[in-house]
Amino acid sequence: MTESTENQFETGAVVYDSASGNVGEYRGTAGPYALLRPVGGGREWETRPESLRPATPGERLGAGVRAANSRSSQHAQEPPVPVRDCAACADLAGLRDDARARHDGSAETDADVLLRRHQRRYHAPLLGLKEYEPAPNASDGAEYETSCTECAAGSGARRRPADVEEWQRGHARDTGHARYRRTVADYAVCGLQAPVP
């Protein structure tokens, strides 16, 4: 990204991306690309800096209305509740609580999505377990890992989300790299189980 384009937009500025036809919040740069995310939070996307311009008042209003409608539908759906004695559920709920405390709606939504995905994968069988369905192994805690998408450096598996975030902040500070891929893994047991009455 050229210096003039970098200085043109501040983090959080609402811009129009002509390449995708979407309005988003400017988040910074990753190599030659500009990073944007939907107004109100969501998955970031990359675009060429030359495709950006300030959003018009109408585009800003439309994006704001879509974000408000999205939030309204999300709030209508109750946030997932952690399953008792599941370390992964507790950790993901903790990430959500931290995001909520920071007023980071995007990270809060991400944590809810990860928690729902985890529960669909590992806890749905608890409603009526079938033969050889996996069930979470509460004796093994979850593991967290992040890797830099710009240089492939990684944190390695860590037991606490805070340790991964600390590594990520240090790597970003040392290298200036802004994009990371985060994963959460937990352990399951898989055996013949009777249905829950």
Q: Which domains does the chain have, with CATH numbers?
A: 3-74 (2.30.30), 82-191 (no CATH)
Give the contacts of 177 (CB within 8 A, at least 6 positions apart): 30, 148, 149, 150, 151, 171
Digit-coded pLDDT (tens) for 131-142: 445 555 555 667
Instruction: Enter the tokens of residue 181.
Output: 């891929």
Place of tokens 């939504």: 109
pLDDT at site 8? 80
pLDDT at site 56? 92
Digit-coded pLDDT (tens) for 108-135: 888 888 887 787 777 766 534 344 455 5
Average model confidence (pLDDT) for the chain? 79
Distance CA 91, CA 82 (A): 9
